[in-house]
């Protein structure tokens, strides 16, 4: 009878020791796991991008994208004003009208277009992207008309990974500002749609070795 309480006290002490050890252990493991990255990811309060004053307005023409970014709208740089011979209806029949014909017309008007798009032996033809009737639009594989300003809808058919990254902000880039309303580069702002890979060239500058 006399030994029992002693035993109880002993086990209690051991238990306490174990408990403290356990707590210390959890504390330690927690400390090593909370990295700076976790702290950053813990911030979930939205930042009002319009609160930054002095943001320069984008000077290039833009259009409202037909996609969403983080549940909101965003803008892309427009394309049409960059196309030399737009509007196409000045020669091609679009919605009725007169067609302009001429000798060697294709070479004379579109001879500078070099198609280097698609894998070898399986290169794309004009009407893979351009609408066969309405020359002022593009056409996707489901037969939907696509505006030149919204070419990402067309490119994203094959380049869906790039489109996913572009929508999130890991591919392409924003125009001018990190704050303010989101304006991003269109696919065709950087890539020539007929020859989308960047040409090899010399770097614009070289580096001298660090001492």
Residue 142 binds to other proteins (criterion: CB under 8 A): no
Look at residues 151, 193, 139 and name the one whose alpha carbon lies nearest to residue 67: 151
* Full DSSP string of 124-165: PPHHHHB-SS-TTSEE-TT--EE-GGGTHHHHTTT-HHHHHH
Least distance from other proteins to the Cβ atom of residue 168, Å: 4
Interface region with other proteins, contact rule CB under 8 A, candidates 59-67, 90-98, 116-124, 172-180: 172-180
Q: Which value, in Å, is the radius of gyration of the alpha carbons in the chain?
A: 30
Residue 196 binds to other proteins (criterion: CB under 8 A): no
**Using CA atoms, how far apart are residues 116 and 193, in angstroms rounded to an integer?**
9
Residue 205 binds to other proteins (criterion: CB under 8 A): yes
Query: How many chain residues bind other proteins (CB under 8 A)?
Result: 48
Kindly give the residue spans of alpha helices, DSSP state H, lying in 34-159: 36-42, 105-110, 126-129, 152-155
> Which of 55, 91, 94, 115 lies at the binding interface for other proteins (CB under 8 A)?
55
Task: Return the structure tokens found at 92.
Answer: 């091609």
Residue 159 binds to other proteins (criterion: CB under 8 A): no
Residue 168 binds to other proteins (criterion: CB under 8 A): yes
Strand, helix or coil for residue 64: strand
Report the DSSP beta bridge partners of residue 138.
130, 146
> Which of 82, 135, 179, 196 lies at the binding interface for other proteins (CB under 8 A)?
179
Least distance from other proteins to the Cβ atom of residue 119, Å: 17
Least distance from other proteins to the Cβ atom of residue 18, Å: 31
Interface region with other proteins, contact rule CB under 8 A, candidates 2-10, 24-32, 77-85, 175-183: 175-183
- Are 91 and 99 a contacting pair, CB within 8 Å? yes
Look at residues 130, 163, 148, 152 and name the one whose alpha carbon lies nearest to residue 66: 152
Q: What residues make contact with other proteins under the rule CB under 8 A?
A: 35-37, 40-41, 43-47, 49, 51-56, 69-70, 72, 161, 165, 168-174, 176-180, 185, 190, 198, 200-210
């Amino acid at each position: 009878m006399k030994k029992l309480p002693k035993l109880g006290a002993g086990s209690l002490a051991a238990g306490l020791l174990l408990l403290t050890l356990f707590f210390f252990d959890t504390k330690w493991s927690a400390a090593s796991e909370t990295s700076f990255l976790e702290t950053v990811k813990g911030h979930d309060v939205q930042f009002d991008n319009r609160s930054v004053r002095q943001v320069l307005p984008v000077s290039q023409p833009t259009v409202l994208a037909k996609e969403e970014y983080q549940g909101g709208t965003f803008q892309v740089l427009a394309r049409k004003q960059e196309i030399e011979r737009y509007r196409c209806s000045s020669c091609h029949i679009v919605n009725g009208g007169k067609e302009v014909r001429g000798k060697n017309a294709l070479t004379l008007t579109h001879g500078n277009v070099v198609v280097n798009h698609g894998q070898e032996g399986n290169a794309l033809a004009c009407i893979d992207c351009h609408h066969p009737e309405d020359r002022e639009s593009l056409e996707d594989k489901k037969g939907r008309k696509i505006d030149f300003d919204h070419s990402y809808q067309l490119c994203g058919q094959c380049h869906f990974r790039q489109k996913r990254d572009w929508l999130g902000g890991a591919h392409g880039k924003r125009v001018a500002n990190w704050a303010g309303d989101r304006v991003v580069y269109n696919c065709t702002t950087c890539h020539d749609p007929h020859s989308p890979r960047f040409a090899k060239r010399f770097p614009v500058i070289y580096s001298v070795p660090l001492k």
